Amino acid sequence: MVTHLLLGERLLRKQRSFFKEWPVKRVLPEDFDPIFKAGPLGPTTETEIRTVGAYRVYGGISDFETWIICNLARNAKQIFEFGTATGKTTYLLAANAPQATVTTITLAPDALETYQEAAGDNLTDSRAAKDVSRFDSFYYQGNKEEERIVQLFGDSKEFDPAPYKGTMDLIFIDGSHAQSYVESDTQKALEMIKPGGVILWHDYRGPKRAKDVFSVLNKLSKRLDLAWIANTSFVAYRPR
Ligand SMILES: C[S@@+](CC[C@H](N)C(=O)[O-])C[C@H]1O[C@@H](n2cnc3c(N)ncnc32)[C@H](O)[C@@H]1O
């Protein structure tokens, strides 16, 4: 029993120091947004969403992440997504934000040569970005939500954010995870977000997976108040 307790304590300490190595501060969902405040029986029915399971979805997000992002999208009028992939998250954002237009950009499979690798980009992240650029038909097609979805094709470094300046309530950054793209998409997102809106980055997974996302966000956290949402790989930022 004592050994068990000691082992448990040691693991806990290890975990704490493990989390300490992740510079973006870890925040409970309810501390980022009060909608996630749970009652004695768990989350309130106000957080109920329309969803489809994260089963056999190439390059998608988890069910818990879907619940988080769709609740943050709930009252949005303008949503932007970097990286469409299957379009399942695009569809669920439109389904759960009934007043929103969802604009999403992706690299089409026949445009891979337009991808602009830069010095310093992690090779694995660049390869993964091209590998997941395999979709030219999307989950939302044929659904009524399609009317509120604007699909853009192209390399996100070529995308001009100027017409969207200060208009977005929610921006989801989930395109190429290579350094120069995370930096470029982030710069554009910061231009497009409204005060009080939310930027979410996917794949903050530590120093071993999606390494460039980890290093870019760690650096950014020195100048912006970023929050790593507990039990997700989301990092969130709400400019005031
Ligand atoms: C991880 S997937 C996105 C997953 C999607 N957001 C979801 O939740 O299901 C990455 C997406 O980024 C796109 N992408 C990769 N490099 C890109 C680039 N340079 N410009 C635009 N989109 C890019 C890929 O084509 C792919 O659709």
- Three-state DSSP state, 69: helix
**Number of folded domains in the chain?**
1
In a domain, 14, yes or no: no
Q: Is residue 30 part of a domain?
A: yes
Give the model's pLDDT for residue 5: 40
Asked whether residue 130 is domain-assigned, the answer is yes
Q: What is the pLDDT of residue 21?
A: 77
List of residues 6+ apart from 22 with CB closer than 8 A? 204, 206, 214, 218, 228
Q: What average pLDDT score do residues 96-104 get?
A: 98
User: Does the beta carbon of 93 lie inside 6 Å of ligand 1?
Assistant: no
Is position 65 within any domain? yes
Q: Tokens in use for 153?
A: 């094709």
What is the spatial distance between Cα 166 and Cα 159, in angstroms, rounded to a whole number? 16
* 158 belongs to a structural domain: yes
Ligand 1 pocket residue status of 107, Cβ below 6 Å? yes
The percent of residues above 70 in pLDDT, for the chain, comes to 92
Decide if pLDDT at 2 tops 80.
no
63 falls within a domain:
yes
CB 170 within 8 A of CB 79: yes
Give dist(CA 105, CA 28) in Å, integer: 30
Q: Does residue 9 belong to any structural domain of this protein? A: no
pLDDT, residue 14, reads 42
Instruction: For ligand 1, say whether the CB of 173 is within 6 Å of any of its atoms.
Output: no
129 lines ligand 1 (CB under 6 A): yes
The helix/strand/coil state of 239 is coil
Q: Are 138 and 58 in contact (CB under 8 A)?
A: no
pLDDT in tens, 8-50: 444 443 444 455 579 999 999 999 999 999 999 999 999 999 9
- Residue 41: burial class (beta carbons within 10 Å; 0-12, 13-18, 19+): exposed
Q: Could you tell me if residue 4 is inside a domain?
A: no
pLDDT of 18: 52
Nearest CA to ligand 1 atom 24: 133
pTM: 0.93
Q: Is the pLDDT of residue 63 over 80?
A: yes
Residue 133 sits in a domain whose CATH number is 3.40.50.150
According to the model, what pLDDT value does residue 20 have? 58
Instruction: Name which of 223, 210, 219 is nearest 83 in CA terms.
Output: 210
Q: Is the CB of 175 under 6 A from ligand 1?
A: yes
Please count the CA atoms within 13 angstroms of the CA of 177 that sit on its side-chain side: 25
Ligand 1 atom closest to 108 (CA): 25
Cα separation values, 214 from 25, 74, 178, 209, Å: 13, 28, 10, 8
Domain that holds residue 167: 25-237
**pLDDT value of residue 46:** 97
Query: How many other CB atoms sit within 10 Å of the CB of residue 219?
Result: 12
Beta strands at 227-229 and 235-237: parallel, antiparallel or unpaired: antiparallel
